[in-house]
Structure 1
Amino acid sequence: MAGEPQADCLFCKIVTGEVPATVVRETATTVAFRDINPQAPTHILVIPKAHYADAASLASAEPTLAADVLREAGEVAAEEKIDGSGFRVVFNTGAGAGQTVFHAHAHVLGGRGLQWPPG
């Protein structure tokens, strides 16, 4: 069921502490942690504690929780001091877009020039 923890989900296991992560922020509804394969000097994932497969299903089911994730992305950028130089927030949706963990998550990237279009 959407929103419920999934036993086979890596990010659900990070939420419960079953899998370690370098957590940089945590709220009642979100967890932010450093990406293990960073694509920029600052690369942090912000996830909802509730399980939704992707950003679209999260936003459809719980728009307030989706807003929490976006707000935390901004807070992470400020704490990492990349808010002034610019940062990118990316949601990959589906395997064809590069999503590898099917638990909604935002990538917060910064600390270097980020050209457009990406990839």
Structure 2
Amino acid sequence: MLSVVALKAFTIWVGILVLAIANGALREAVLMPRLGIPAALVLSGLLLSALIIGVAYLSLPWLQIRRPMQFWAVGFGWLALTLVFEFAFGLWQGKSWPVLLEAYTFKGGNIWPVVLAVTLLAPYIAAQLRGWG
């Protein structure tokens, strides 16, 4: 049972990753030229946060989990996958550690740490929205 939930949670995270990449493309191509960098970063972060919660809300019945510890486990899994992906992809691109870590500050409108917190909390928030908590 645990491996089935883990596989489903991983599949959902891949969907979140696709949405995050599309969100980044939208930010770069549309939001930044029209709104400027700080506003685009904030709007993009809020949009991605809403998408993550929406995906969590829609996917909870498929995951077939109901206990708070399960919501937290999925959230921690999504957060860990996101961090591993972000750092691995950044290092693969040749970015330095200081450049990678700058994304984890609130400088210039960046709210990436908020998105990470939402990623962790999304299954729990979704369960609360469904009245399962």
TM-score (norm 1): 0.34
Q: Which structure's residues are more often helix, by fraction?
A: 2
The structure with higher relative contact order (CA 8 Å, sep 6+) is: 2
Rg larger for: 2
TM-score (norm 2): 0.31
